[in-house]
Amino acid sequence: MIGVRDSGFASSTRPGMTPALDCTLELRPVPRFDSGMFTTFRGGQSGGWRVTAISAVKGAPLAAVPSLSVVHSEAIALPLLPSRTSWRLAGVASHVRYVERGEKTQLAAVQAGLGRPAASCAALIPIRKSAAWWELTQEERRRIFEDQSHHIAGSLKYLPDIARQLYHCRDLGEPFDFLTWFEYAPEHAGLFEDLVGMLRGTEEWTYVEREVDIRVEQIDLRG
């Protein structure tokens, strides 16, 4: 059985029932990861999030779209109607990397989960790093990530007001290495700008060769 959730609404299929999936989706089997769940972001003409801004921070941009749809499923969701979807990005929430046990415990104690009712603002920031980054060893990347850039320590003060999830996509044949998704309340928009400004000022960010910044607001479907 495959369940699909788009912006908080779930559907599933049982024997003898008509599949209750979005009619614009096709599910493509791909290798399973530990989480067993893929997240697909589709920029197009419809979705649960209204796009308020999209800009290329570094490298090639993505096409401007009015809406963003977010689908969580056991396979990557592909559009059956390309005319309604300008781009599709997919990733998987895998195990945490570059953190030590104390840092992982500290993060778990303060970070917020996604889907909070007050967090009606969000940002999708796809990132691709350079070949020079991937040629480094795990230990060398860790030193740049935390010892020199203070990625974890510097981010702690923004929690739990800003919720974050990282999706890995480097091994999926995607155009980006990571998809970073942030959720926050409107009153914390300035705090989020401080966070991304801090991250873009680190040594780690010098290894980024492509980054796109997509800001969205959740569409209230109850009214």
Supply the CATH number for residue 109's domain. Answer: 3.30.70.3420
Per-residue model confidence as pLDDT tens digits over 17-63: 333 333 333 333 333 434 458 999 999 999 999 999 999 999 999 99
Cis amide bond preceding 31, omega within 30: no
In the predicted model, is pLDDT for residue 101 greater than 80? Answer: no
Q: How many domains does the chain contain in total?
A: 1
**Radius of gyration, alpha carbons of the chain:** 18
pLDDT digits (tens, 9 = 90+) for 198-221: 999 999 999 999 999 999 999 976
Q: What's the DSSP call for residue 112?
A: P
User: 84 or 97: whose pLDDT is higher?
Assistant: 84
Domain that holds residue 67: 4-218
Residue 223 in domain: no
Question: Closest Cα to residue 46, out of 72, 10, 8, 84?
Answer: 84
Q: How confident is the model at residue 8, as a pLDDT? A: 35
- 39 domain-assigned: yes
Count CB-CB contacts under 10 A for residue 113. 10
| Confidence band of 4 (pLDDT split at 50, 70, 90) | very low
Give percent helix, percent strand, percent coil of the chain, each to the nearest 5. Answer: 25, 35, 40
Amino acid identity of residue 218, one-letter, is Q
- The number of residues in the chain equals 223
pTM value?
Answer: 0.79
pLDDT of residue 77: 80
Q: Is position 21 within any domain?
A: yes
Give domain status of residue 208, yes or no. Answer: yes
Per-residue pLDDT reduced to its tens digit, 151-178: 777 788 898 999 999 999 999 999 999 9
- Asked whether residue 118 is assigned to any structural domain, the reply reads yes
Does residue 50 sit within a domain? yes
Average pLDDT, stretch 87-104?
A: 76
Cα–chain center distance at 119: 15
With beta carbons less than 8 A apart as the criterion, state whether 163 and 139 touch. Answer: no
Q: What is the DSSP letter of 158?
A: G
- Residue 130 maps to a domain: yes
pLDDT at 211: 98
Query: Residues near 94 by Cβ (< 8 Å), separated by ≥ 6?
Result: 33, 34, 35, 168
pLDDT at 98 over 60: no
Could you tell me which residues come within 8 angstroms of residue 10 by beta carbon, excluding any fewer than 6 positions away? 3, 4
Q: Is 33 within a domain?
A: yes
- Say if residue 114's pLDDT is above 50: yes
Higher pLDDT, 124 or 155: 124
